Structure 1
């Protein structure tokens, strides 16, 4: 059996991998179920019920306004001495659409579901990637494998390739199921109208960027765990980035009044990658006042191309460092 096939099989058979796959599928299923429960398809019966609710509320408010008017006539001093400005309900304020159930609009809502899906799978990909190689270093399995196949770079590259291909397959299959599930939700609990080829293309491109995010997360988790030779090294790095470099760095940058401080924080780059762009406002800079637009402060736009280049650079550095360390350090 080839090394690649052996590593792919080992990754698929690991209980840790299966556990996290089941967990993410469970979370995704709960999200889909919650979405289906929260929305309702607009039917003639639902329209009739909404019209009845609107009419009932209007009549109740009319009755309440008449009672207030009678009280005002009897004691005008309690109402400021005049009854002409008392509130009077208007039928236009009680429209049936305000009482209608909220349908799930596939065109409007599914892109956010794609981003939610990508974020969850990216988190799982990071953990699985870190555990895949970190457990080998921690248990001594890597040392035994290198005794059988002493080509260090080839072994690590094969492991990474098996991980990337496996994550690619997992993301594509679950992404297709995710799309089909929400298409059914929109069919039975909402609407699938206005789904033009351009809309499908936009959703597909969002899905491709989500796939890229998943693969990058898996590769980074794999690289950090390989450098630290333990799964905990990758998880500790995540905590350090979240606590020190995100919250702590954000506070320091704000206190130092650094220009475009939010551009140094990871979430904005992820948002730019998934939403194609995001704007970072320099809150510390004086605004340019305009009569037409008001106060405008400097804005820095992070594009998906720029975010992708940064992610690629970071991934290359981390994976390259993992390759360098396994080549230079002792295997003990």
Structure 2
């Protein structure tokens, strides 16, 4: 059996891997169940009832507005802003769509589900990647494997390749099922209208970016655990990043009134990667005059910039793992 097949088999047979995948699927199932329960199909009867409610509210508000204007005409001193400032309801303010219950619009709502799927799978990929190599360092399995295959870089790179292949297969299969589930939900509890080829292409590209996020998380978890030679090293680093660099750094930047403070936070870069761009607003800086008046300055973070950051982090951490296994003693 080749080393790649052996590592792929070892990855798929590990109880921790199976438990992590099962936990992720359980959470995804709960999300899908919640979306199903909170949405329903809007039929002609429900739409007619919503239209009646909208008409009724429009008439009531129109009557109240007329009464208010009558009082204004009789006692103008009580209305310093004038009678014209009194709100006059229009039909556009009382549309039937605002009176129907929530329904799952696949084109509008499914991108958020792609984000949910990618974020959860990225977390699981980080944990699986860290455990896959960290457990072998901790148990001595890596030393035994290197006695059989005394090629350090080849062994570690093959492990990483098996991890990347396994995560890709999991993300593709689970992503296809995830899409199918929400397509059925949209058909039964919402609408699939306006799903053009361009809309499908946009969703597909978002899915590919989600796959990239999953693979980057898995590679980073793998690399950190290999450098620390323990699963806890990667988990500790992750906790440190979240506590120190996210919450702690966020508070410090806000207190210091730093410019574009959100640029230093990881969720901003993830949002830019998944949504193709993310606009960061600096509320601490003087406003900038524009056609819409004086507005706070903004900075647009693009998916190319965030993708470059994640790629660089992955290369640096995995490269450091390759360097350490080549230079350090195997003990």
Question: TM above 0.5, one fold?
Answer: yes
Structure 1: distance between partners of 2:255 and 2:221: 32
1:229 corresponds to: 229
1:65-80 equivalent positions in 2, closer than 5 A: none
Structure 2: distance between partners of 1:253 and 1:58: 47
**Which runs of 5 or more structure 2 residues have no equivalent in the other structure?**
68-77
1:279-311: CA deviations, max 9, x gaps? 122232211234x32222332211100111111
Whether 1:109 aligns to 2:119 is no
Structure 1: distance between partners of 2:191 and 2:296: 40
Report the RMSD for the aligned CA atoms in angstroms: 2.6
2:33 corresponds to: 33
1:39-54 equivalent positions in 2, closer than 5 A: 39-51=39-51
1:209-268: CA deviations, max 9, x gaps? 000000000000000000011111111001100010111112222333332222111111
1:183 to partner: Cα distance: 0.6
1:123 corresponds to: 123
TM superposition outliers: structure 1 runs of 4+ over 6 Å: 55-59
Structure 2: distance between partners of 1:142 and 1:304: 37
1:300 corresponds to: 299
1:96 to partner: Cα distance: 4.2
1:270 corresponds to: 270
- SS in structure 2 opposite 1:272? helix
1:76 corresponds to: none
- SS in structure 1 opposite 2:193? coil
1:36 to partner: Cα distance: 1.2
Structure 2: distance between partners of 1:254 and 1:95: 41
1:50 to partner: Cα distance: 3.3
1:97 to partner: Cα distance: 3.6
**Which runs of 5 or more structure 1 residues have no equivalent in the other structure?**
69-79
2:161 corresponds to: 161
Structure 2: distance between partners of 1:311 and 1:264: 14
1:289 corresponds to: 289
Structure 1: distance between partners of 2:106 and 2:122: 23
C-alpha distance 211-52 of structure 1, shift in aligned 2 (>3 A): same
2:215 corresponds to: 215
